[in-house]
């Protein structure tokens, strides 16, 4: 199979057209923290692999052991996502290389009918439509990069109000969205916000114990919800592809079936 060249590094492909994540790792600089195995261990990445496989009908990731072609190979979608996880600038470099190779392949396939005026008109129309499509894809990818740049500014777990600022959402609307989508709920004991257990189990939310003062001046110990960096990444992804958060409003606590349906 033909290969891409990124940062003077050939990116191999296997017989099913998957790209070598090991070669991409080397092209990015080869830092240990950016190994493919580290990326693939992330639950969010595992969900992405599953989604790609459901659409493609074939394994999206394949590992080859031994020999000169040993390594981890992944679909084009996963290769681009891997590059985005490594570094913003590397992601754009990989994305533009993919798009350029795609354009060149289409141009080569269109050379045959160049002596046919009718075919030329059709090719020109198709080329224009594809250029518009590629531009839209690049704009979408740029928006995705912006989300990760905002997340990179956060340091560790933050309060929901601070998370709203990172994600550029009014806090009141953000609280309402989190409640509606089964991230948080009101405690029946003290009326404060608490995280749903599945979000804690996934490492997206956590609690910390704080002391607040009652109206009579006596101390009271309560739990505060914090959003982890993993939670911020997931929220940025969900909010970018969903409708804007609704205005803050009182909503009923969702049933267990509704919470499971929303994931």
Tens digits of residue pLDDT in 51-103: 998 888 889 999 888 777 789 999 999 999 999 999 999 999 999 999 988 88
Pick the last residue of a domain from 153, 180, 210.
Answer: 153
Closest by Cα among 45, 58, 72 to 16: 58
How distant, in Å, are the alpha carbons of 30, 70, 211, 235, 251 from that of 86?
10, 21, 39, 19, 39
Decide: pTM greater than 0.85: no
Residue of 41 and 134 predicted with greater confidence: 41
SS3 259: helix
Let me know whether 102 and 169 are in one domain: no
Query: Residue 246 pLDDT more than 60?
Result: no
The domain in which residue 36 lies consists of: 4-153
Pick the last residue of a domain from 135, 153, 171.
Answer: 153
Mean pLDDT of 229-254: 66
In terms of C-beta density within 10 A (0-12 exposed, 13-18 middle, 19 or more buried), how is residue 8 classed?
exposed
Contact 222, 212 (CB under 8 A): yes
- Please give the radius of gyration of the chain, using alpha carbons only, rounded to the nearest integer: 23
Pick the last residue of a domain from 127, 153, 179.
Answer: 153
Let me know whether 121 and 149 are in one domain: yes
Let me know whether 220 and 130 are in one domain: no
Residue of 120 and 38 predicted with greater confidence: 38
Q: What pLDDT score was predicted for residue 77?
A: 93
Closest by Cα among 132, 166, 157, 39 to 90: 39
Tokens of 68: 């000169």
Let me know whether 130 and 183 are in one domain: no
End-to-end CA distance of the chain: 39
Let me know whether 135 and 176 are in one domain: no
Using pLDDT thresholds of 50, 70 and 90, give the confidence band for residue 250: very low
Residue appearing with tokens 């985005």: 84
């Amino acid at each position: 199979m033909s290969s891409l060249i990124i940062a003077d590094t050939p990116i191999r492909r296997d017989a099913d057209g998957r790209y070598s994540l090991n070669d991409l790792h080397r092209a990015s600089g080869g830092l240990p923290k950016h190994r493919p195995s580290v990326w693939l261990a992330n639950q969010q990445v595992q969900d992405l692999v599953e989604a790609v496989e459901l659409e493609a009908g074939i394994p999206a990731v394949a590992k080859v052991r031994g020999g000169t072609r040993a390594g981890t190979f992944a679909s084009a979608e996963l290769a681009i996502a891997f590059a985005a996880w490594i570094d913003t600038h590397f992601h754009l470099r990989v994305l533009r290389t993919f798009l350029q190779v795609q354009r060149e392949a289409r141009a080569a396939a269109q050379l045959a009918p160049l002596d046919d005026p009718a075919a030329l008109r059709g090719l020109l129309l198709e080329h224009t439509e594809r250029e518009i499509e590629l531009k839209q894809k690049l704009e979408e990818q740029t928006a995705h990069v912006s989300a990760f740049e905002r997340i990179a500014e956060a340091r560790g777990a933050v309060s929901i109000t601070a998370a709203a600022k990172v994600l550029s959402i009014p806090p009141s609307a953000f609280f309402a969205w989190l409640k509606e989508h089964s991230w948080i709920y009101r405690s029946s004991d003290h009326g404060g916000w608490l995280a749903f257990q599945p979000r804690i189990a996934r490492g997206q939310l956590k609690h910390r114990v704080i002391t607040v003062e009652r109206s009579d001046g006596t101390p009271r110990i309560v739990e505060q919800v914090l959003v982890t960096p993993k939670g911020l990444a997931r929220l940025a992804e969900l909010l970018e592809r969903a409708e804007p958060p609704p205005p803050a409003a009182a909503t009923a606590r969702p049933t267990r079936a509704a919470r499971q349906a929303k994931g």
